Chain A
Amino acid sequence: MAVHEVPVYTGLVKDIKLDTTKDAVVIENVSKVFKKSRPFWEWFRADKKRDERTIWAVDHVSLNVKRGEIVGILGANGSGKSTLIRMLSTLLIPDEGHISIFGYDVIKDERMVQRLINRVSVEASFFKRLSPMENLLYAARLYNMSGAEARANIKAILARLGIKPDRIHAPLENMSRGMQQKVAIARAFLTSPVVLLLDEPTTGLDPRSKLDVQKFVYELREQHDATILITTHDMDEADALCDRVAIIDQGKIMALGTTAELKQHVARLMNREKPVSMNEVFMHYTASHLITEEDIARYGSWEKAFEALEAQREEEDEE
């Protein structure tokens, strides 16, 4: 890939005084509960199944992220990763707890927080009939960028992500999912956010494109001192990219630390000399029953404890 200078846009944040002594992201005891809607004929019935209709998507989560840090949030599908990212993005209101970005509360200071953040979602959400240029120009103007500045920056960022110039003005619906996802990443990078929220940004990308995106994330951090939260299912990506990772399961943070720390901890539990892989770390912390040292002592090894507890869970599910 040719080397292109990544433009840094400071228009929205230059007037904001950021207290660099504070953590970039503070999540304090945050919960989000979703209630499944009931058919109207059940509205007046005795509420026996009320608890079954309540889902704790995020369950009393606390997490601090320092300025310039890249933190990965790992979890299975439906574990609460995207709900957490949505609450940080001002798109969902937490039921409990507080979230702040550089001291600005996501509810009370919503507009200020929106100036500091941007987000890439797992779906490349665009007006598919419009071209990348038209979609990104729309996004750039919402973030107070002039047309001339936006056009120049869009071309530079898309070129940096490997989008050929002849594709810039063609409808997005003619692009592959991977290409669309690159344009989605370009949209978030375009506004040079101080805090970038990446919700499975590389899902659907080929290995080379994944590496391009990872390099770009690093560049954004180096050039713009951005703080980055990334959710991913790709353990290698988490290992390569993140300063720390949080493993989330059923809405709760099960582990938090550097990948090296977590690997060592799980290796110790598994009684191995060499660090385990991130996949094994993930399996350990997202098992149906978190395996403790007592479980290992009881069953003889981590593997036996895992098998026994999984079998026990299956029996419980059948009942």
Chain B
Amino acid sequence: MAALMHAGRATYAFFERNWNLTKRYLAWEVVWVIFNIVNSLSVTFIGLSAKQFAPQMVNHLILTFLIGSSVWTYLSVTFEGVTDMITIERWEGTIEHTFMAPISRFTHLVGSCWYAVAHGLLFTAVQLLVVCAFFSLDLSHANYLSAIFIMLLGSISFIGMGIGASILPLLFTERGTQMSFIVRAVLLLVSGVYYPIDVLPVWMQYMAYVSPATYVIQGLKEALINGASIWSPVMWANTWPLIIAGIVTIPVGIYIFGIAERYAKRTGKLKRNG
């Protein structure tokens, strides 16, 4: 019981710390939201331009691009939140204090990640609301509950993959964060972010099948465009791969992180100048 209480307090410590940091960097948050809204709009307007040659497809295309850009934003914000647990701490010099705190790495990593998920969801919701205001979208069939459900379920595997990617800033002190960008970019490329995966080369389609982002994107399309309910077979087809991915990626991510941490402690890489 005491151990659980300690883990709970430590988990909250990371949430509170990140919330305080977000408040102190509010101007940056505003700039980042605007940047993502502009990005999303520049992609979504491509859908609107389709009314010249396929007017019946406009709503579908806009929603497809909107979902793609939203998932891109969500994954970016969440991934950044997860990898930031190393990057910011290294930048500020607090990494050694966090790593010598008497908490398990599971508590440390999951504690840092749940703020990333909450931050990512809020960020994406703001972006969606603003971008939707630019278009007359038909969302009469949308099932928002299913959409939130699939995002939350997908978040579990995104956290696992983010933890795995956060070893890059841990091991590569100079450019590790930039190296982690490639992970999410490849993930989205093979997951059919703005297109069906069957347009991809066959070898990339195999990668799509093991990418959790594929099922999040497909699930969101089913929920928002076709109004699929959580218990429908079409949603289940996207739910079970995400459950398996969640079960696999978090322990694997923490295990990989543990190996990297041990390597960093052997070679003196926890501290930037060794």
Q: Which A residues lie at the B interface, using CB under 8 A?
A: 12, 15, 34-35, 83, 86, 89-93, 95, 111, 114-115, 117, 119, 121, 123, 125-130, 134, 137-139, 141-146, 171, 187
Known: A117-B100, A129-B21, A142-B9. 13 other contacts (CB 8 A): A34-B274, A35-B267, A92-B265, A93-B265, A111-B102, A114-B102, A119-B96, A119-B100, A123-B93, A125-B92, A125-B96, A130-B21, A144-B9
30 contacts between A and B (CB under 8 A): A34-B274, A35-B267, A83-B268, A86-B271, A89-B100, A90-B99, A90-B100, A91-B265, A91-B271, A92-B266, A92-B268, A92-B270, A93-B262, A115-B102, A117-B100, A121-B96, A125-B92, A125-B97, A127-B20, A127-B21, A127-B92, A130-B24, A138-B13, A138-B16, A138-B17, A139-B97, A144-B2, A144-B9, A144-B102, A187-B97
Cβ contacts under 8 Å, B101 to chain A = 114, 139, 142-143
Least CB distance from B205 to A in Å reads: 34
Q: Are B104 and A111 in contact (CB under 8 A)?
A: yes
- Select A143's contact among B92, B102, B267, B268, beta carbons within 8 Å: B102
Cβ contacts under 8 Å, A144 to chain B = 2, 5-6, 9-10, 102
Known contacts A111-B102, A119-B100, A143-B102; A134 and B17 CB within 8 A of each other: yes
- Select B9's contact among A121, A126, A141, beta carbons within 8 Å: A141
* Interface of chain B: mostly helix, strand, loop or mixed: helix
Known contacts A130-B21, A134-B17; A89 and B92 CB within 8 A of each other: no
| Chain B minimum-CB-distance residue to A14 | B2
A70 to B254, alpha carbons, bound, how many Å? 38
Q: Are B97 and A129 in contact (CB under 8 A)?
A: no
Cβ contacts under 8 Å, A123 to chain B = 93
A127 to B14, alpha carbons, bound, how many Å? 13
Q: Which of B202-237 contact A (CB under 8 A)?
A: none
